[in-house]
Structure 1
């Protein structure tokens, strides 16, 4: 659909008027526009509809729309310029560490490129933290990691429990590394990824057993105080687990 730089013709890309006024009006506007922008309804360089159109669409005041646009700017999705309106920025400017932006990006990524990149980030950071944990973990850390591993071993036949304890295992290794920043980055991206069924998949008991063999190898290297082995074991575990559960991309 052809659009004009003033935003005329873009109204059809917005939702119907909201029948009820929610408590947090700006948050509803933000979440809707984030989804529309990431989905490609407003391509980079496209202006958002003018304030009167947005006010009418969402049944909110100009103040609420301006607050929402400010939040979108903070997320790197739009740029507002006095006299020329608000336009969508290039994808490279989007803050993918923002939970709402990341969630929408994963949701609309038919080719799974974002999830592949997310796994690459996990693999790079967690393998490094496993190496750090091999050197820095205390005896208490190792006992706690062993306890989580024992729970995992007991849960391989119940995947719904296993996948939750799996998160606890990785979290405990990262904590033992002492790398707070790396842990924070992984926790941010992994928490959003886990809301997507395309990321978590439907693990079978045999998948859990294979995954747990990877956990056991990481733990063995931690006990041996072998940083290179721990890094390699964690890297292999993360990449192979993703390879097993990675779905086929959606057809366009």
Structure 2
């Protein structure tokens, strides 16, 4: 029986093999193990099963398992040490900007801790980029923002379309800011957040109309070349929209 970092014996984690052998073997193993780690099925401080067991579970070669473990190490999920096996690291060590890790974290975020933090990051970064856009955006940038805003006006009665155009509106302002790093961070975290039902909620026409009224305030401050006003309008919009669709008492799904 394996031992954890404190030397105590531990029960081996139960891993479920997949019903059909995937094409990209190492990546599929990584995604499966990432989900098991982030969900807590393989808790921090425990050790992964040894190579032969992982090979049997997933039906892959040792080379594939070693490649997968190296990828898990790069994501900060495990630490492989000679004589100690491969140990799951504390959540503080996980790279949440890695799409696979973030996706798993969002999917298992029953108490919305990750999503609350993500919205905070969006609010801070997008507010900064709105201020930058108010200063450096070209006339073409401004026209593009206005054009998307007009499309949003037409789509408030069709929430599914509105949501997609909403993303384009925010992204166009980020482009106008010329802050490529900030835009990359937001695009990474927002893409994963949008895969979660708890993040998206069930917007209706009234919610879309309110969101678009807030979009218009952002656009007005951009056109006025008002950095502080644009930042405040963007932060208020992102935080307000989240407060309207955030479940009041989230909890683990029913078994």
Taking structure 2 as the reference length, the TM-score comes to: 0.94
Q: What is the match of residue 65 of structure 1?
A: 65
CA contact (8 A) 1:135 1:227 kept: yes
C-alpha spacing 1:225/1:110, structure 2 compared with 1 (3 Å): same
SS of aligned partner of 2:110: coil
User: Is there any run of 5+ residues in structure 2 with no aligned partner, and where?
Assistant: none
- Cα distance in 2 for residues equivalent to 1:95 and 1:222: 34
Corresponding residue for 1:147? 147
3-state SS, counterpart of residue 79 of structure 1:
strand
Q: Structure 2: how far apart are the matches of 1:102 and 1:86?
A: 21
The answer to whether the 8 Å contact 1:110/1:250 transfers is: yes
Contact 1:8-1:49 within 8 A present in 2 as well: no
Which residue of the partner structure matches residue 29 of structure 2? 29
| Other-structure match for 2:12 | 10
Give the C-alpha shift of residue 9 in structure 1. Answer: 3.5
2:76, 2:2 → 1: CA distance? 22
Structure-2 separation of matches of 1:18 and 1:245: 35
2:53 is matched with 53
Q: Is the 8 A contact 2:10 2:46 kept in 1?
A: no
Contact 2:30 2:72 in 1 (8 A): yes
Task: Note the alpha carbon deviations across 1:3-51, whole angstroms, 9 max, x for none.
Answer: 644987415x210x44443221111211110000000111111111111
Tell me how far apart the structure 2 counterparts of residues 141 and 230 of structure 1 sit (CA, whole Å).
15
What CA RMSD, in Å, does the superposition of the two structures yield over aligned residues?
A: 1.6
Counterpart-to-counterpart distance in 1, 2:27 and 2:129: 36
Residue 132 of structure 1 deviates from its aligned partner by 0.4
Report Cα offsets for 1:122-146 as digits up to 9, x if no partner. 0000000000000111111000000
Residue number in structure 2 paired with 1:250:
251
Q: Which residue of 2 aligns with 1:226?
A: 226
Give the conservation status (yes or no) of the 8 Å contact 2:99–2:188: yes
Question: How many Å separate the matches in 2 of 1:18 and 1:169?
Answer: 40
Report if aligned partners of 2:76, 2:94 keep a CA contact under 8 Å in 1: yes
Assess if the C-alpha contact under 8 Å between 2:194 and 2:200 holds in 1.
yes
> What residue number does 1:164 align with?
164
Per-residue CA deviations over 1:72-121 (Å, capped at 9, x if unaligned) read: 00111001011211000111110000011001001111100000000000
CA distance in 2, matches of 1:166, 1:28: 32
Report the Cα distance in structure 2 between the residues aligned to 1:163 and 1:85, rounded to whole angstroms: 46
Tell me the distance in 2 between the aligned counterparts of 1:127 and 1:20: 45
Instruction: Specify whether residues 8 and 55 from structure 1 end up closer, same or farther in structure 2 by C-alpha distance, changes over 3 A only.
Output: farther
- Contact 1:30–1:68 at 8 Å: present in 2 too? yes
Question: Is the alpha carbon distance of 1:50 and 1:207 closer, same or farther for their aligned partners in structure 2, counting shifts above 3 Å?
Answer: same
Corresponding residue number in structure 2 for 1:197: 197
1: distance between equivalents of 2:171 and 2:111? 28
